[in-house]
Amino acid sequence: MKTHALKVLVCGAAGRMGRAVRAEMEGADSFSLAAGVDARPVPGVENADAFDYLLAGADVVIDFSSPEAACRYAAACARARKPFVTGTTGFSKKQLAALRTAARRTAVFCSPNMSPAVNLTFALAAIAAKRLKNFDVHVSEAHHAAKRDAPSGTALRYAEHVAAARGAALPPITSARAGDIVGEHTVLYAGPHERVELTHRAHSRALFAAGALRAAAWVAGRKPGFYDYFDLLELKGLL
């Protein structure tokens, strides 16, 4: 066990992002793997039913599972007063409300994208939407063929920032699911005689794993509340 390392319990440990988070911790002095849980039977990963028991040995939870499972894990973290970080997407309004309920008793960090750069572009998307008032806006995204939710949580967050900046409805979003694309997002602003494109392309899931660990280190020890990367990066003052 690494001295003074933050002990992390990974939910959805057998999935793409769960594996990436575990791999990212292997060479990190600041983190150690308390355990990994998943609903699927996978060697080296505990069954999700053991979550409550394993939580006692963790300092923080990182979740990349499913909306339903994430809400259960968040509720357990609230009871145990353990901080909870989730990068799971596809939450309904009711499920987001459940996460906010958990945040009354513990620190909950929720972001549809764990890339600091993507979160900076959320702010840039809002600024551009507000300043380029006569430009049409369209959001597009592409991910690997196995991704279940469409549009992606990141695309929805771009659209929400654009809509909030303009006091208008969400702009149109198009989605593609193909091959092994890690993640690509573009916000298009089309005006008379010109257009602007704000694009982010992820080359590796290690990017999101590192971002999730950064969020875990930041949220550990925080008072109860509902946090995201705008809090971590202090971006709210830009809007």
> For the segment 148-164, what is each residue's pLDDT rounded down to a tens digit?
889 999 999 999 999 99
Residues 139, 53 within the same domain: no
* Structural domains in the chain (count): 2
- Structural domain contains residue 82: yes
Instruction: Tell me, yes or no, whether 102 and 173 share the same domain.
Output: no
- pLDDT above 60 (res 125): yes
For residues 101 and 183, membership in a common domain is answered with no
14 and 103 together in one domain = yes
CB-CB contact of 88 with 154 (8 Å): no
| Same structural domain, 120 and 101 | no
3-state secondary structure of 105: coil
- Percent of the chain at pLDDT above 70? 98
User: What residue type is 165 in one-letter code?
Assistant: A
Q: What are phi and psi of 113, to 5 degrees?
A: -145, 125
Q: Are residues 91 and 124 in the same domain?
A: no
Q: Is there a single domain that holds both residue 81 and residue 198?
A: no
Q: Collapsing DSSP states into helix, strand and coil, what is residue 30? A: coil
CATH code at 104? 3.40.50.720
CATH of the domain at 181: 3.30.360.10
Residues 191 and 215 in one domain: no
Structural contact between residues 38 and 51, judged by C-beta atoms closer than 8 angstroms: no
Whether the predicted pLDDT of 2 surpasses 80: no
Q: Does the annotation mark 82 as catalytic? A: no
pTM of the model: 0.90
User: In this structure, are 229 and 175 located in the same domain?
Assistant: no
Contact by Cβ (8 Å): 92, 41: no
Q: Once rounded to an integer, what is the mean pLDDT over residues 167-182? A: 97
Q: Is 1 part of a structural domain of the chain?
A: no
Task: Identify the active-site residue in 82, 143, 161, 200.
Answer: 143
pLDDT of residue 237: 77
**Do both 231 and 121 map to the same domain?**
no
* Set 7, 130, 138, 147: catalytic member: 147
pLDDT at 90 over 60: yes
In a domain, 154, yes or no: yes
- Cβ atoms of 154 and 185 within 8 Å: the answer is yes
pLDDT of residue 27: 81
Average pLDDT, the chain: 95
Instruction: Identify whether 142 is part of a domain.
Output: yes
Whether residues 20 and 104 fall in one domain: yes
User: Does 147 qualify as catalytic in the annotation?
Assistant: yes
Q: Is the pLDDT of residue 7 over 90?
A: yes
Q: Is the pLDDT of residue 180 over 90?
A: yes
73, 110 in Cβ contact below 8 A? no
Q: Is the pLDDT of residue 1 over 70?
A: no
Residue 135 domain flag:
yes
Residues 13-67 have pLDDT tens digits of 999 999 999 999 998 899 999 999 999 989 989 999 999 999 999 999 999 999 9
- Structural domain span for residue 226: 6-110+206-238
Instruction: Note whether 197 and 219 are same-domain residues.
Output: no
